[in-house]
Amino acid sequence: MALPRFLVVEARFYEEISDHLFNGAATVLMNAGVGFERIAVPGALEIPAVIGIANQGANPKFDGFVALGCVIRGETSHYETVCSESARGLQVLAVSFGLAIGNGILTCETWEQAMVRARPDDQNKGGGAVEACLAVFEARRRFGLVTP
């Protein structure tokens, strides 16, 4: 059986936070023996679209997807829209197409909260998103939905 291959889709709006998220994710992916590619998008709202695009075609090349990014509350209602719509987009893809998706899009009140959650030596939410994706991938395998 071929090793699983995941796509990490990373919003780069907050680059330092994104770097921490990716570093944590990459470590867990490598330790699990999962091959991966990384693609950057401007913000969290673009992540579900790119995952949907990557899953198109008769033979999708990825077994799982890891969404990484951060949304920090500002002075407008844009925060609620971005948080809700990015999460909804990921959930629609996961449920409608049976995709293994790990959601590592942080939704925080402050920069400091985001950094604590992003750092690999702290809460390591990037690594946690990979672990979630791996769990769903294993469920797909258990139910015979992963091709050898």
| pLDDT tens digits, 64-97 | 999 999 999 988 889 999 999 999 999 999 999 9
The pLDDT of residue 60 is: 85
Domain presence at residue 1:
no
Classify residue 133 by its DSSP letter. H
Task: Kindly report the pTM of this predicted structure.
Answer: 0.96
DSSP 3-state helix, strand, coil percentages of the chain (rounded to 5)? 50, 20, 30
> Is the confidence at residue 131, as pLDDT, over 80?
yes
The pLDDT of residue 2 is: 73
Query: Which is the catalytic residue, given 78, 109, 135, 139?
Result: 78
Examine the residue annotation and report whether 20 is marked as an active-site residue of this protein: no
Domain span at 21: 7-142
CATH of the domain at 59: 3.40.50.960
Give me the chain's average pLDDT, please. 95
Residue whose entry in the numeric block shows the structure tokens 């015979």: 144
Domain presence at residue 103:
yes
Domain presence at residue 148:
no
Signed CA dihedral, 38, 41, 44, 50: sign only: negative
Domain presence at residue 18:
yes
